[in-house]
Amino acid sequence: MNDADHVALSGELFVILSSRPGEYHTEPLGDLTPVDAWDYFYCGRHLATFVIARVHGSARIRVIDETEFPYAVTVMPIRFLEKFRDRAAAVSALGVLVGSNQAEIELRQQHPQQPF
């Protein structure tokens, strides 16, 4: 199913943006609205943050490489990201992505007042 099929079925799409502390972070640009954020922990270490964002139209993301100074910045279209028909499908994909079957893994939803 392509992006046009998703839009025809649901009227909206969702994408997952990822960030790894000390390595890189992503920022939504254009018609993307963050709706959820999840922190990924493995053996108690915070390894990544995932933001689920609603796509409203033309959108891009900014990827900031934090491994060098000055930071390298890349802007890319969301066509390279997997699209989901609803928020629940994106959350389910996070469980698959992090392999939630191990006791050492924790996917913790951020509180709404925390900035995305």
CB 116 within 8 A of CB 51: yes
The string of pLDDT tens digits covering residues 51-78 is 999 999 889 999 999 998 899 999 999 9
The string of pLDDT tens digits covering residues 3-40 is 444 444 447 899 999 999 999 999 999 999 999 999 99
14-35 burial, b if ≥16 CB within 10 A, otherwise e?
Answer: bbbbbbeeeebbbbbeeebeee
| Residue 82 three-state SS | coil
Pick from 53, 8, 15, 13: nearest CA to 35: 53
pTM above threshold 0.85? no
From CA 63, how far away is CA 17, in angstroms rounded?
10
